[in-house]
Amino acid sequence: MKLPYAEPYRIKMIEEIRQSSREERVAWLKDADYNLFNLKSSQVYIDLLTDSGTGAMSDSQWGAMMTGDESYAGSRSFQALYDTVNKITGFPYLLPTHQGRAAENVLFSVLVKDGDVIPGNSHFDTTKGHIEFRKAHAVDCTIDEAFDIENDHPFKGNIDLEKLEAIYKEYPKEQIPFCLITITCNTSGGQPVSLENIKAVKSLSDHYGIPIYFDSARYAENAYFIKTREAGQADRTIKEICKEIFSYGEGMTMSSKKDGLVNIGGFIALRNEEVFQKASNFTIIYEGFITYGGLAGRDMNALAVGLDEATEFDYLHSRISQVEYLGNKLIEYGIPVQKPIGGHAVFVDALKFLPNVPRAEYPAQTLGLELYKEAGIRGVEIGTLLADRDPETRENRYPKLELLRLAIPRRTYTNNHMDYIAAGLKNVFDRREDIKKGYNITWEPAILRHFTVKLEEAK
């Protein structure tokens, strides 16, 4: 028989997690104002809030931490990180930052000004936050297929070239500092962008004189999908594919908490010296000296090793196969999930799952709260709470999809956990007809409300 995939590692250290009772969880949720971000991790059995910074490091990474060089300037650890980033991306300039949004803050301080327009494929929430904070606009040019969860287009992160060109025609070049390609596209479901699409966006953008930057948190997972789904790519290594992707960009922002396989960190890598010089000034103000940017030497060492490990096929194959395993289990149970299954998470369609909950009462949030009450599993809403209000009208922005994201941390849980998650969701699915009420907001902040919003049960 065909041998199944299995992890290309074994477990050397474990961390205990505890199950709780439904009564405990109901009380904890009330105390948390029905916001899953407010729960203590000890109140969660399986934590699928995010795959960001929640993965397990390898023994090689832990070993590298011991030899971190904590010099303020020019450390060996910076050099190790520089060498790895340069090898994988080809970019000649590197600025470490404390995480991905810090990289956005530094880079956008150089590139984005009031009134600018930044087209891309469903910008990530902090990215959009950093754009809107500067009174600029993020314009979503993702292909329409991305918003039909039954459509199994292999590259649902792709940019629609017509939508992009319409932006290039509508606004003067001076108002479009760059086009941002997010790989994989987090907001549209961990969906990849094809190499062909990246090349086409590059040639269109060249024609209009607009540079391309990558929001590259999950670039290695994107490269895995290119290798396994795109014609002519199967025989290339992940590292070769990554190098080609980045060859089309002027630079990248990175959240190392994803495909860096570390618990904290980020960086900016750049091609242009002038942008690097300007960004260096903002790095010093916001992050720290340019050879550490808010990271300890040991963090940079662990990241250098992690970037290498995350761009190996065997690791990516087991990681993405586990996410697929969970997705397929849910499909088997008849649960509506986004197809194809994304790279880092399974996205459950809450509008189909909970048709009786009114849109204004946040169905995806409601589903997340039900799953927590059922099984102690914490997912996250990718819906109206996340989409926030229109900065001008202050009305709720209703996105096309209302999703519950179950993000799978890297190298952390086993397939027994996946079976448990699927069973928990199935139990909620079996009683979905009886779930008719959602939640109302009692308090929210001015931007990025989903992290701190307070809710109450709808009457």
In a 3-state reduction of DSSP, which class is residue 148?
A: coil
Selected from 58, 109, 127, 222, the binder of ligand PLP by CB under 6 A is: 127
Site stretch for ligand PLP (CB under 6 A), options 250-258, 268-276, 305-313, 451-459: 250-258
Which of the residues 434 through 453 are near ligand PLP (CB under 6 A)?
Answer: none
- Length of the chain, please? 459
Query: Which of 258, 329, 339, 344 is labelled catalytic?
Result: 258
- 125 a catalytic residue: yes
Q: How far is CA 257 from CA 53, 219, 242, 398, 423, in A?
A: 4, 12, 18, 29, 29
Site stretch for ligand PLP (CB under 6 A), options 119-127, 128-136, 291-299, 381-389: 119-127
- 296 a catalytic residue: no
- 72 a catalytic residue: yes
Under the binding rule (CB under 6 A), the answer on residue 124 touching ligand PLP is yes
Contact map string, positions 38 to 77, toward ligand PLP, x by CB under 6 A: --------------x-------------------------
For residue 414, the minimal CB distance to ligand PLP (Å) is 24
Query: Which of 51, 116, 160, 215 is labelled catalytic?
Result: 215
Under the binding rule (CB under 6 A), the answer on residue 126 touching ligand PLP is yes
Nearest to 420 by CA among 373, 376, 368, 354: 376
For residue 287, the minimal CB distance to ligand PLP (Å) is 12
Q: Which is nearer to ligand PLP, 75 or 126 (CB)?
A: 126
- 153 a catalytic residue: no
DSSP assignment of 9-43, as one string? S------------HHHHHHHHHHTTT-GGGS-GGG
Nearest to 412 by CA among 333, 309, 296, 319: 319
Nearest to 56 by CA among 248, 263, 269, 299: 263
Contact map string, positions 89 to 108, toward ligand PLP, x by CB under 6 A: ----------xxx-------
DSSP assignment of 231-265, as one string? TT-TTS-HHHHHHHHHHT-SEEEEETTTTT-SSS-
Selected from 134, 202, 227, 257, the binder of ligand PLP by CB under 6 A is: 257
What's the rounded Cα separation, in Å, for the pair 425 and 212?
A: 40
Q: Which is nearer to ligand PLP, 47 or 215 (CB)?
A: 215
For residue 52, the minimal CB distance to ligand PLP (Å) is 5
Under the binding rule (CB under 6 A), the answer on residue 128 touching ligand PLP is no
Nearest to 366 by CA among 330, 395, 408, 404: 404
For residue 108, the minimal CB distance to ligand PLP (Å) is 12
CB 327 within 8 A of CB 336: no
For residue 258, the minimal CB distance to ligand PLP (Å) is 6
The one-letter code for the residue type at 44 is V
Crossing angle of helices 363-375 and 22-31, rounded to 10°: 140
Site stretch for ligand PLP (CB under 6 A), options 153-161, 189-197, 255-263, 348-356: 255-263
Q: Which is nearer to ligand PLP, 177 or 189 (CB)?
A: 189
H or E stretch including 268?
A: strand 266-270
CB 123 within 8 A of CB 180: yes
DSSP assignment of 274-300, as one string? HHHHHHHHHHHHHT-STTTTT--HHHH
Q: How many CB atoms are located within 10 Å of the residue 182 CB?
A: 28
Query: Which of 125, 140, 299, 349 is labelled catalytic?
Result: 125
For residue 117, the minimal CB distance to ligand PLP (Å) is 19
H or E stretch including 170?
A: helix 161-170
Under the binding rule (CB under 6 A), the answer on residue 327 touching ligand PLP is no
**Residue 213 β-bridge partners:** 180, 251
Q: Which is nearer to ligand PLP, 216 or 366 (CB)?
A: 216
Q: Which is nearer to ligand PLP, 126 or 322 (CB)?
A: 126
- 113 a catalytic residue: no
For residue 431, the minimal CB distance to ligand PLP (Å) is 33
Per the structure block, which two tokens stand in for 9? 């590692």
Which of the residues 199 through 228 are near ligand PLP (CB under 6 A)?
Answer: 215, 217
End-to-end CA distance of the chain: 56
Contact map string, positions 156 to 195, toward ligand PLP, x by CB under 6 A: --------------------------x---x---------
Q: Which is nearer to ligand PLP, 300 or 425 (CB)?
A: 300
For residue 11, the minimal CB distance to ligand PLP (Å) is 26
CB nearest ligand PLP: which residue? 100
CB 365 within 8 A of CB 438: yes
Q: Which residues bind ligand PLP (CB under 6 A)?
A: 52, 99-101, 124, 126-127, 182, 186, 215, 217, 255, 257-258, 266
- Known catalytic residues? 72, 124-125, 215, 217, 258, 450
